[in-house]
Amino acid sequence: MRESREQGRLVVQPRMGFGDLATMREGLLGVRAADAAAVGTITLDSYTRVNDHDSARQALRTGAELNGFPLVAHGPVATRRLLGEVSGDGFPVQVRHGSALPYPLFEAMVAAGVDATEGGPVSYCLPYSRAPISEAVKAWARCCELIAAQSEPMHLESFGGCMLGQLCPPSLLVALSVLEALFFREHGLSDISLSYAQQTHPGQDLEAIAALRRLAVERLAGADWHVVLYTFMGVFPRTLVGSFRILEESVRLAVRSGSERLIVKTPAEAHRIPTIAENVDALEFADAIARDEAARAARASTPAAGPGAGAAHGSGAESGEEVRATDSGIYEEARMLVDSTLELAPTVGEALIRAFSRGHLDVPYCLHQDNANRSRAYVDPGGMLRWAEPGRMPLRVDRGGTARRPVSAKGLLGMLGFNERRFDREQLTHGHFTSRPSISARSAS
């Protein structure tokens, strides 16, 4: 992964996990052989994520289908053998899990020689667990210290920029990703990454990633870090072409923003677990779009490019749409949230606990008992994701001169489906497509 990043090529990665060793091996080999700068993923099953390893073992014994890889049930010897057959310097494998209290998983990953994993004391607690944040902070501190003590520590990626997948304004996503990265540094890690999930407005996303990178430069001196972008994690387009169009926009966003790695989503994931072939197809499509966008940027930077050189053009919802970063103060807001949180306690972990207990950090629409859930966000008519109510967070909300009405259930569902409608609109207007579009047919120029 580091080699591809140094070459300036976007690294693409699937969300892939299978229960049995043979299929997991086949999947990883398929990703490794893809015509793309790809890295591997082992996504764990739902039993393993909550440390119910007896149920995972029972499923293996009975042949019951699992929705991911039962790392602990398979054991470190089998997992190490699997990784030895597929991974290497040019093809690292990351374990993705979703556990708020993951120490047993980290022990298993260390024993198996896993290259990288992800998560964090907030980002893997609030959306996925009922465990108190205080317990998650303690557990993740132990996990960080465990891998920091190894001769070759695993890479650790903050999931903080992906909170709930959608409807969390960018400044809070950026702040949480930076705070979790600082937590990792506090507990001895230096090989880390920060995340951000594609939202509803490409210009706002460009601004957010620029803010994230700027804060990382300022706060993570001495660390080897990079930025990971996730293709939209909310309600996906229903049509095949719409699904590839939102994937294309995320790829172009990754290239334009300087993100080093992209977590790819396949059209099938809106309906079922994707096949190996569908994962590989999405990776190769993403890689081709990334190379197209890089070539376009190179042409635009030459003197012969003429008027408008340097302007970023993305696929967006409309062909030929020019995409420029917005200027809505995301950096200033995120920096204020980071600094004011760190002022609450002498350690990052304790500061996170106090910040959520006071509502100083508050994720909209998140029902975890340690989240105040007083803040609210909305998607404005132009697609910008904005604050409607800040709760007790120290934010200045621009109401445009009029107070917004409370978000209704119907309104919330409408906002959740914003990208679904946006990317399906052109196809439903112009007819039905049964196969994915070609790059030339869908490029913005």
In Å, how far are 47, 51, 59, 92, 322 from 54, measured between CA atoms? 8, 9, 9, 29, 53
Count of the separate structural domains present in the chain: 1
CA distance 43 to 46: 10
CA distance 97 to 43: 6
Lowest mean pLDDT among 135-144, 304-313, 354-363: 304-313
Confidence class of residue 191 from pLDDT cuts 50, 70 and 90? very high
Structural domain span for residue 386: 1-301+310-445
- Name the phi and psi angles at 244, rounded to 5: -70, -30
When comparing pLDDT for 408 and 282, which is higher? 282
- The residue type of 60 is L
- Name the phi and psi angles at 23, rounded to 5: -70, -35
Q: What is the pLDDT of residues 244-259, one digit of tens each?
A: 999 999 999 999 999 9
Tokens 């790392």 locate to: 71
Token output for 261: 């790695």
Helices 330-342 and 202-219, axial angle in degrees (round to 10): 40
Mean pLDDT of 105-116: 97
pLDDT value of residue 299: 84
Confidence class of residue 436 from pLDDT cuts 50, 70 and 90? low
Confidence class of residue 416 from pLDDT cuts 50, 70 and 90? confident
380-386 long-range contacts, Cβ below 8 Å, gap at least 24?
Answer: 382/201, 383/200, 383/201, 383/204, 383/418, 383/422, 384/200, 384/201, 384/204, 384/326, 384/328, 385/167, 385/168, 385/169, 385/170, 385/199, 385/200, 385/201, 385/204, 386/169
Token output for 414: 């409408």
pLDDT value of residue 323: 85
Confidence class of residue 100 from pLDDT cuts 50, 70 and 90? very high
Mean pLDDT across the chain: 89
pLDDT value of residue 83: 97
Percent of residues, the chain, with pLDDT higher than 70: 88
Q: Answer whether residue 219 shows pLDDT above 50.
A: yes
pLDDT value of residue 316: 46
Tokens 């489906």 locate to: 417
The SS3 assignment for 191 reads strand
Check: CB of residue 337 under 8 Å from CB of residue 171: yes
The SS3 assignment for 347 reads coil
| CATH number reported for the structural domain that contains residue 344 in this entry | 3.20.20.240
Mean pLDDT of 199-220: 97
Say if residue 190 is exposed, middle or buried (CB neighbours under 10 Å; 0-12, 13-18, 19+): middle
CA distance 326 to 303: 26
CA distance 204 to 386: 10
CA distance 126 to 366: 7
Q: Answer whether residue 11 shows pLDDT above 50.
A: yes
Lowest mean pLDDT among 83-97, 331-345, 403-417: 403-417
Q: Answer whether residue 157 shows pLDDT above 70.
A: yes
CA distance 257 to 209: 6
Confidence class of residue 53 from pLDDT cuts 50, 70 and 90? very high
Mean pLDDT of 127-146: 97
Token output for 81: 């053998």
Q: Answer whether residue 8 shows pLDDT above 80.
A: no
When comparing pLDDT for 35 and 240, which is higher? 35
Helices 21-32 and 76-86, axial angle in degrees (round to 10): 30
Lowest mean pLDDT among 51-55, 198-202, 231-235: 231-235
When comparing pLDDT for 421 and 430, which is higher? 421
Mean pLDDT of 167-172: 96
pLDDT value of residue 433: 41
Check: CB of residue 74 under 8 Å from CB of residue 126: no
CA distance 395 to 378: 15
Confidence class of residue 391 from pLDDT cuts 50, 70 and 90? very high
